Amino acid sequence: MSRRRFPLRHQLEYGGFRLVSGVCNAAPEWLADRAGASLGWLAARLGRPRWDVVTAQLAAAFPDASESWRLAVARRCYAHLGAESVAIFRLARLGPQEIRERTRVVGLELVERATREGQGVVVVSGHLGNWELGAAAVAARGFPMDVVVARQRNPRFDARLTEAREGLGLTVIPRGEARRRVLASLRGGRVVGMMGDQDARRAGIFVDFFGRPAATARGPAVLGIRAGAVVATLFSLRLPGRPPRYEVRIEAVEAPRTGRLAADVAAVTQAFTSRLEALVRQHPGQYFWHHRRWKTAPPDEDAG
């Protein structure tokens, strides 16, 4: 059989990834971490990729804050992204013991109790702190965990990322297969991680995020409710100092249940979005403001 040929662009992208990954893994951790943060800070000062998006969204989220404060947060956001990108490059080489040493998990008893009773758990996360490490911290403590992910456009990078996640004890579920496989996992008493803070376009449900309606995926709430699973939030926040250490917070989503699916999905989705907002307000420099969270306008705004 002939070897599959990839477009030149994909080969160059993957070659660049391998080079950066190799350098990050070869350097001492303190140096790699500092270099990543410095490169992020330089990006905020020089190239400024998606700078307009970041600053506009900070202005929308924190309208009463001073411009100097928002600019400082924006720069911290880039520095954080640079440092955590390096941390993710290095994550694949860590064993379960090393991951446990770098993380403190608060609320793990919720997962322990549910899985002991054979009940599945949906953990909803967002692009705050280091979300990849949060999932790895749960798996490193012996809990079978699946993660729902979007496929990468570059198939070689996608395969490498899947291999790295599986090496951390995670089972990868492509987003297109989520409905069938997530229900089976939850009914089998497993833990399933899903992201809940990206613009979901017209397929989403509009909930309040920083005082504005944001199109949010229904999936975590719908699948959790249909499977009779526990729904919880999971966020991995970086702690001050070096080397990098993290606090992983797991908290049950408390929302009224009426027995009507649409109303219950709306309540659960709003509850985990509000929890995310509260943590972002505490740690705005650790949030991924580069994503256009309010890209999709509600139908009534379109009509106007």
**Tens digit of pLDDT at every position of the chain (304 positions):** 345 666 766 666 556 656 667 777 788 888 889 988 998 999 998 888 999 999 999 999 999 999 999 999 999 999 999 999 888 888 878 889 999 999 999 999 999 999 999 999 999 999 999 998 999 999 999 998 999 988 777 777 778 778 888 888 899 998 888 888 999 999 999 999 999 999 999 889 999 999 999 999 999 999 999 999 999 999 999 999 888 899 999 999 999 889 999 999 999 999 999 999 999 999 999 999 999 999 999 987 654 5
* 140 falls within a domain: yes
| CA–CA separation, 94 and 99 (whole Å) | 6
What is the rounded CA–CA span in Å between residue 47 and residue 61? 24
User: How many residues make up the chain in this entry?
Assistant: 304
Instruction: List the beta bridge partners of residue 106.
Output: 249
- Is 67 a domain residue? yes
Q: Provide the H-helix boundaries in 62-154.
A: 67-91, 96-102, 108-116, 131-139
**Domain tally for the chain?**
1
CB half-sphere exposure, 78, CA atoms < 13 A: 23
pTM above 0.85, yes or no: yes
**300 belongs to a structural domain:** no
Per-residue tokens: 265: 């999905």
Q: Please indicate, yes or no, if residue 90 is contained in any of the structural domains.
A: yes
Domain that holds residue 248: 8-294
Phi and psi for 204 in degrees, rounded to 5?
A: -90, 180
Assess if residue 208 is contained within a domain: yes
**41 lies in a domain?**
yes
